[in-house]
Structures are given as C-alpha cells and as structure tokens.
C-alpha cells in the first residue's frame, strides 16, 4: 500500500512540475497577451511626449503607470511594472480604438476580469489632463479575435488581459470616452 | 513497412481526416465580435422582444450586421446581458459539414425565415457578453443596405420555442485560473511538486 501511495505521489509531483514549467513558460513567453492576425497600423498622433502616463479604474483598485508598447514581428511587448499602451493605436481620447493591455497578475490587470459595465476608467497624460471613459462592454474572446482591436469610429479604449485555462483567452473591456 | 501497408495507411489517414475535418476554418467566416463589429449594419431595433436561438426572448436593442449572406446579431437586453448570435448561412453545406459544425457547438436551424432571415438553413452560435442597455429612442437609425429577410430582426417564429438547453458560451465560466503566469502561482505549483516528490521518495524508501 505504501508503495502505491509513494508512486502516486511521485507521479503527482511530476504533473505538478510539468504544470509549473508550463506556467513559467507562459510567464516568459512572448506570445502571451498577443492577438493573432493583428495588422499593425502606424499611429499618426503618437509621440513619446504626448503618450498617456497612467491608467486607473477606481472601482477595481487598479492604478498603474502606462508603458509604450510596439508590436514587432508579432511579438507583443509586456511589462511587469504597469499597463502597456499599443503605440500603433490612437491616443486614448482620440477618434478610434486605443489599446491598453496588461498581465493578469493581481498587481497589474488581474482584477480587470471583475470589470462591470458602467465602471469608470481614467487615463492621465503627462500634462495632468485626464480623459474619463466608461466601460460599455465586456467579453471573453479567443486570441484569434483580433477584430476587437480593429479601428472604430467612436473614441474608445479597449483594455484586455489574459484569462481562461493557461491564459488561453482574453478578457476584454471596452470603454467609451465621456469627458 | 512495405509499399502496400504504406498506401493503405495513407488512404486510411486521408479518409479519417476528411471525415473528421470536413469544414476547413476558411469556410467559416470571421464573424468578429459585437464589441467592435466590422460588418455592414443593416438594421437596429431599439425596443421590443427579440429572440435568441435556443435561449429565450428578451427586451432590448437588437442590431443586425451582414456579410455574404451571413448574419451577426447583437442583442443588448434591458438588463445589460448581451447575446451575440453568429448566423452562418448553411445552404451549401453537406450533412457531414453540418454534423461537424454541430460538434463544434453550432446549432442547426432548418429554416432561417422563422428568425427573420432568408429561407434557407443556418447554423447558429451564441456568445454572451455584457453591455450597456440603451434607453429606447423614438427615431432609430436604419441603414438601407439589404436586409436578411422580410422581418429583419431575428424573432422566434411559431415553432421556435425556447428549449431548456441553453447554448451560450459564458464569459464568467472562462474566468477561472486567471492568475496563470503569476510568480506566486508558479512558486506554489513548484513547491507542491517538490514536496510531493520528497514525500513520495521517502515513502518508497521506507516501504523497501
């Protein structure tokens, strides 16, 4: 009996270690947080000086610095320090679909999955001007659903993070400019 | 392995693959998402009851988009629950293709006209989302692009009664294990693995 339990524990440890290694891979994988088939369009309005600096969602306790991210060769840069603003999308508050994403860690966008329609999102610029958005939609989509990042005719920000088993899905919140 | 065995294996593999994957990914169009629809909007109905195939009827705003005979229905109910229904026109699909799509979670609707669509078979798939419920406005904007049928808003017909089985991909159901990739989770998993290994090895030694 002891022998059976011993072998069970050894096999269990192997599965734990395999899952651990896979999670470690997910943590470092460049594909994490990416969307496939995303056609990158150069942003006209972006310059380092006017890039957004901070994002907060008070109802979720999210308050993070924003770092600029540019997709090169299908690699989506991520940061452990805050949220990433896709520089090839319009500046938040301008006409179009601004894209901001972050890891699903509790210190970053981990609580984004609790976002509710009506929650306020505030984006702050270097000159301390603030743009206030209100979440109008939330959904879980597959990484292949890149139309979520397609240009729009309104002034919106699309926030997303990973969700689902082994980060296989993307949780998306779309907020529209209010002021 | 001789030539005969190789040939038989190749034929078997081809037959198996053609049976298992009769509809290639290219044949199912990209419907997109109701969060940022990319197809042509053909109709908006700001009020009234609107049917969601195999779910129920709800009051809310129903927006219809179309592309090549396929229809994207975005229903934002008054309670803020959103239902996206992808309507794939299945008039040219074989029974094996339909069976394959059914296995992929699509529902077969024999006659689309009962749902305000064309009089042809459709495959339908529901996806849930949340949305801001709109206040009905007196003058809805309706574009003049071709509408899917005589009554453009998919509403359940006399035979399309809701069934107890609800086929909606839930957003909430996917929110489990959202913290993958987190250092804390990685550390816990490794710790559990190493502890298990140590206890297992000790037990194995003592059982000898």
β-pairing, B40-45 vs A96-101, is unpaired
pLDDT of residue B14: 55
Q: Could you tell me which chain B residue has the CA closest to the CA of A97?
A: B36
Q: Which residue of B has its CA nearest to A6?
A: B200
Judging by beta carbons within 10 Å of its beta carbon (0-12, 13-18, 19+), is residue A62 exposed, middle or buried? buried
> What residue of A is the nearest CA neighbor of B189?
A20
The SS3 assignment for A68 reads strand
Give average pLDDT by consecutive 10-residue segment, chain A, 179 residues.
87 88 69 62 63 96 94 80 92 94 90 96 96 96 89 95 86 93
CB distance B193–A13 less than 8 Å?
yes
> What pLDDT score was predicted for residue A78?
82
Q: Do B33 and A147 touch (CB under 8 A)?
A: yes
Q: Which of B28, B178, B204 to mutate to test the interface with A (most CBs of A within 10 A)?
A: B178
Q: Collect contacts of A77-81 with beta carbons under 8 A, ≥24 apart.
A: A78/A32, A78/A33, A78/A102, A78/A103, A80/A108
Listed residue (B100, B91, B55) closest to B71, CA to CA: B91
Residue B190's pLDDT is 87
- Rounded CA separation A56/A132 (Å): 10
A residues 149-178 lying closer than 8 A (beta carbon) to B: 149-150, 152, 158, 161-167, 169, 171-172, 174
Shortest Cα distance from A45 to chain B (angstroms)? Answer: 22
pLDDT lower than 50: segments of chain B: 15, 17, 19-20, 25-26, 136-153, 155-167, 169-180
List of chain B residues whose C-beta atoms are within 8 Å of the C-beta of residue A152: 36
Residue B190: list chain A partners with CB under 8 A. 16-17, 20
Residue B58: per-residue pLDDT: 94
**Does A137 contact B82 at a Cβ distance shorter than 8 Å?**
yes
Chain B residue whose CA is closest to A176: B132
What pLDDT score does B85 carry? 97
- Does A19 contact B207 at a Cβ distance shorter than 8 Å? no
CB contact (8 A) between residue A137 and residue B34: yes
Chain A residues with beta carbon closer than 8 angstroms to that of B82: 137, 139
Chain A residue with the nearest C-alpha to that of B39: A147
Percent of residues in chain A assigned helix, strand, coil, to nearest 5: 25, 35, 40
Distance (Å) from the alpha carbon of A127 to chain B's nearest alpha carbon: 31
Question: How distant is the Cα of A2 from the closest Cα of chain B, in angstroms?
Answer: 6
Reading phi first (left if > 0) and then psi (alpha if -120 to 50, else beta), residue B114 is in alpha
pTM: 0.71
Per-residue CA distances from B28 to A147, B17, B32, B38 (Å): 15, 18, 12, 16
**A130-to-A84, A133, A179, B165 alpha-carbon distances in Å:** 18, 10, 8, 46
A113 to chain B, minimum CA–CA distance in Å? 7
Q: Do B207 and A3 touch (CB under 8 A)?
A: yes
CB B36 within 8 A of CB A175: no
Q: What SS3 class is residue A63?
A: strand
């Amino acid at each position: 009996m002891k022998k059976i339990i011993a072998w069970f524990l050894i096999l269990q440890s192997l599965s734990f270690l395999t899952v651990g290694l896979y999670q470690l891979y997910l943590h470092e994988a460049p594909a994490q947080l990416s969307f496939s088939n995303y056609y990158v369009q150069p942003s006209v309005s972006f310059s380092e000086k006017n890039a957004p600096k901070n994002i907060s969602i008070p109802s979720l306790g999210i308050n993070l610095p924003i770092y600029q991210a540019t997709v090169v060769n299908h690699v989506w840069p991520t940061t452990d320090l805050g949220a990433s603003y896709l520089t090839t999308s319009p500046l938040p508050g301008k006409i179009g679909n601004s894209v901001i994403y972050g890891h699903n860690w509790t210190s970053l966008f981990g609580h984004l999955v609790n976002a509710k329609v009506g929650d306020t999102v505030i984006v702050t610029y270097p000159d301390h001007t603030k743009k206030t958005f209100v979440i109008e939609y939330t959904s879980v989509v597959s990484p292949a659903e890149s139309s979520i990042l397609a240009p729009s005719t309104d002034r919106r920000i699309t926030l997303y993070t990973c969700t689902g088993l082994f980060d296989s899905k993307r949780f998306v919140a779309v907020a529209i400019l209010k002021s | 392995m001789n030539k005969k065995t190789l040939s038989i294996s190749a034929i078997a593999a081809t037959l198996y693959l053609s049976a298992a994957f009769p509809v290639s990914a290219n044949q199912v169009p990209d419907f997109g998402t109701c969060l940022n629809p990319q197809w042509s909007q053909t109709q908006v109905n700001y009020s009234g009851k609107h049917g969601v195939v195999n779910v129920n009827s709800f009051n809310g705003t129903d927006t219809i988009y179309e592309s090549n005979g396929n229809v994207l229905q975005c229903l934002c109910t008054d309670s803020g629950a959103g239902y996206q229904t992808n309507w794939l026109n299945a008039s040219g699909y074989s029974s094996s293709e339909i069976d394959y799509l059914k296995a992929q979670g699509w529902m077969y609707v024999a006659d689309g006209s009962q749902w305000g669509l064309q009089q042809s078979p459709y495959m339908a798939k529901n996806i849930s989302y949340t949305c801001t419920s709109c206040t009905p406005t007196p003058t809805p904007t309706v574009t003049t692009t071709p509408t899917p049928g005589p009554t453009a808003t998919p509403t359940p017909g006399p035979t399309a009664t809701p069934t107890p089985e609800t086929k909606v991909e839930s957003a909430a159901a996917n929110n489990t294990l959202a913290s993958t990739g987190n250092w804390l989770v990685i550390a816990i998993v490794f710790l559990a693995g190493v502890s298990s290994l140590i206890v297992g090895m000790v037990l194995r030694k003592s059982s000898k």
